[in-house]
Every structure is written in structure tokens, then in C-alpha cells.
């Protein structure tokens, strides 16, 4: 959709009423791509105004409901295959399909990553006096200037039992 006030302009030509020569097209019009077709644009395209976005909570609820319906259908299919006396005719165990919310993974074999207690960046160094992790020398200077109670608060925020020597 063109912007407001947009009108197609006629080619800019230099017209002289006195001469019998044809009008001359300007250099800008000669190099313009406006007159070429645009095959990547669909002229019949209309934006769907009824489409709305869903938040994560709604998406997870919708997936849980879909999983519940699928489990119920599988249960009904198993019951239909059962005989009257409760013995299965052709009992097939179909494993539950993994979904986004049901995938379980073993713990990682990689070491846990360490982050700076002050900046949140990767913290490869640890202050021996306070036990705080830090990113570089400038953060270490900040840690050296902290009081013991502030250091304890940072350690408590990380979930470590604060022991300051």
C-alpha cells in the first residue's frame, strides 16, 4: 500500500514547444527501476487482520490440551481393541511422542559455567579473600573496595553460604 499523498509521477521530460525533436527523458528516469515489474510481490496479497499473536502461556496451554486429546484418543483406540473379557486382540504399545514441554535430558557432562558476581559476564577468576567470581582486573578493583557485608550479599545472591575471611 503506498504511503499517504503518494501519486504516480509522470516521467520527467524536457519539452520545448519550438523544436520538432521528440522530448528528451531525463537521466534520472533512464536509470530508474520504477517502471520494471516486481515479480517478488504478489499483487493479490492481502494482510490477514484477524491473525493475532499468542504469548508463551497460551501456546503451552494449547499444546497441553492437544496432548491430552491425543492421549484420550489413544486410550479409546486401545479400549476398542480389547475383548469383552479384557484380553487384548492385537495390543500395541505406542510410546509417548516427545513434545517441547515433555522432553527430559540427562545432566550435562560439561563443567558448569562460572559468571562474574558483579557484572554477569563470564568470570574465570575467583577472589581468594571473599570467594567472589570476577571478570577482569577492573572488577577485581571494585571487589577489593567492597565491605564484608556487601561481599556476603553478593555471595548470598548467588546462593553460596557466605563465609568471608
Regarding whether 164 and 120 lie in a shared domain, the answer is yes
Confidence at residue 52, expressed as pLDDT on a 0 to 100 scale: 79
Residue 11 has pLDDT above 60, yes or no: no
pTM above 0.85, yes or no: no
Which of 100, 124, 155 delimits the end of a domain? 100
Single out the residue of 3, 62, 2, 10 nearest to residue 35, CA to CA.
10
Domain span including residue 90? 55-100
Q: Which of 92-96, 127-131, 136-140 has the lowest mean pLDDT?
A: 92-96
Give the residue-averaged pLDDT of 57-66.
92
Residue 16 lies in a domain: no
Regarding whether 117 and 90 lie in a shared domain, the answer is no
Residue 136 has pLDDT above 90, yes or no: yes
Give the residue-averaged pLDDT of 86-111.
64
Regarding whether 119 and 74 lie in a shared domain, the answer is no
Which of 47, 68, 100 delimits the end of a domain? 100
Question: Which residues, 6 or more positions from 130, have their beta carbon under 8 angstroms from its beta carbon?
Answer: 143, 146, 148, 151, 154, 155, 164
**DSSP H or E run through 70:** helix 56-81
Regarding whether 164 and 118 lie in a shared domain, the answer is yes
Residue 1 lies in a domain: no
Residue 23 lies in a domain: no
Q: What single string gives the DSSP state of each residue in 104-131?
A: --PPPSSPPP-B-TTT-SB--EE-TTT-
Q: Which of 19-33, 92-106, 137-151 has the lowest mean pLDDT?
A: 92-106
Confidence at residue 114, expressed as pLDDT on a 0 to 100 scale: 93
Number of domains in the chain: 2
Amino acid at each position: 500500500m503506498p504511503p499517504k499523498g503518494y501519486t504516480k509521477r509522470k516521467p520527467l521530460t524536457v519539452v520545448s514547444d519550438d523544436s520538432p525533436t521528440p522530448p528528451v527523458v531525463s537521466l534520472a528516469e533512464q536509470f530508474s527501476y520504477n517502471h520494471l515489474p516486481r515479480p517478488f510481490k504478489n499483487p493479490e496479497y492481502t494482510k490477514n487482520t484477524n491473525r493475532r499473536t499468542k504469548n508463551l502461556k497460551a501456546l503451552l496451554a494449547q499444546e497441553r490440551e492437544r496432548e491430552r486429546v491425543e492421549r484420550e484418543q489413544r486410550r479409546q483406540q486401545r479400549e476398542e481393541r480389547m475383548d469383552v473379557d479384557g484380553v487384548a486382540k492385537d495390543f500395541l504399545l505406542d510410546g509417548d511422542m516427545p513434545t517441547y514441554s515433555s522432553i527430559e535430558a540427562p545432566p550435562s557432562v560439561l563443567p558448569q559455567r562460572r559468571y562474574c558476581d558483579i557484572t554477569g559476564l563470564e568470570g574465570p577468576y575467583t577472589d581468594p579473600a571473599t570467594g567472589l567470581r570476577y571478570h577482569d582486573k577492573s572488577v577485581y578493583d571494585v571487589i577489593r573496595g567492597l565491605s564484608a557485608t556487601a561481599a556476603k550479599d553478593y555471595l548470598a545472591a548467588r546462593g553460596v553460604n557466605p563465609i568471608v575471611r
